[in-house]
Structure 1
Amino acid sequence: MYIKELIITSFGKYQNKKISLKPGINIIYGENEAGKSTVHKFIEAMFFGFYKDYKSRRTYNPDYEKYLPMFSSSYEGILIYEEDCREVRIERNLLKGKDKVVLYDEGTGEDISKEFYYDSAIKLYAPFEESMMNRRIYNNTVSISQLGCRTSKELSEELKDYLANLGESKGDLSVQKALKSLNDSYNEIGTERRKDSPIYKVKYHIKSLQEDKDKIRSNMIKVEELTEEINKIEDRIQKAIIEREEYHKNILSGQSYEALCKVQEYESKLKENNEILKKISKISYEEVSEEEYDRIKGMRTEIEILEKHVEDMISKKGTHKTEIKDEQNQQRVDSLKEKQNQSKRFMILSSIASICGLLGSILHPLFYTLLIFIFFVIYFYKKTSDYGRQYEEQRKAVGEEFVFERQKTKEFNETIDDYKSKIERLDLEVRKLLQKNKVVSIEAYEAHLKSKRDVEALEKQLENSTILLETLIPLKELDKWQAKALEYSQYAQFKVELDLDALVLKKNAKDKEINDMNLKKSKLQGSVESILDELVDLSDVENDIHYHERELEKLQGKQDALQLAMDTIQKLSAEIHNEFAPELNRLLGKIVGEITEKYKVVKVSKDLEIKVEDPIYHQFIDLNKLSSGTMDQIYFAFRLGLNEFISSTTFPVLLDETFIQYDENRLSNVLKYIIKKSSNRQIIIFTSQRREMEIMSKYTEDFQIIKL
Structure 2
Amino acid sequence: MKMEELVLVGFGKWQDASFRFAPGINLFYAPNESGKSTILQGIFAALYGMKRDYVKSARYLPEYEKYRPWQSGSYETIITYKLAGKTYRLHRQLTKEGEEARLFLDPEWTELTDLYLEDRRKERNFIEKHTGLTRSLFTDLTWIRREPLQAAEHLTPTFTTAEEANPAVQQILAELDREVALIGKKERAENTLLGKAATKVAQKEQEKESAKAAWRTISQLTLQIAEATEECQQLELRRSRLQQRLDRSTGQAKALQERWQRSHAPVSQQDWAWWEQTARSEAELAIHEEARRGFTQVNMSTVAVQQSNDQLIPLQHDYEKGAPLLKQREALHIRLATLAVSALSTSPRSTASRSTRQGNQAKRKRGAALMWGGSGILSVLGLIGFMSGHPVLGGISVTAALLLFGFGVFLLRVGGSTGRAKQTADHDAVQESQRVQEEIASIDAEITTLVQRWGASNWDTFLERREELLKSTSKQQSEQLLSEMAKTKQETDLSASWGEALRTLLDQEKNELETEQGKLRIEMVEIEERLQELREQMARGHGEMAVHESLSLSRATDELAEAQAALRQLQNKRDALQLAREMLQEAVGEWRRDSTPAVNQQASEIIEHVTGGAYRDVRLDPREGFAIRLLEPTKQMVLEQDQCSTGTIDQLYLAQRLALVHHAKQSEPLPLFFDDHFVHYDEERLRRTLDYVAMLAQEHQVFLFTCHERELRMLAPLLRQEKRHAVHRLG
Class of the TM-score when normalised by the shorter of the 2 chains: 0.3 to 0.5
- Relative to the length of structure 1, the TM-score reads 0.42
Return the TM-score normalized by structure 2: 0.41
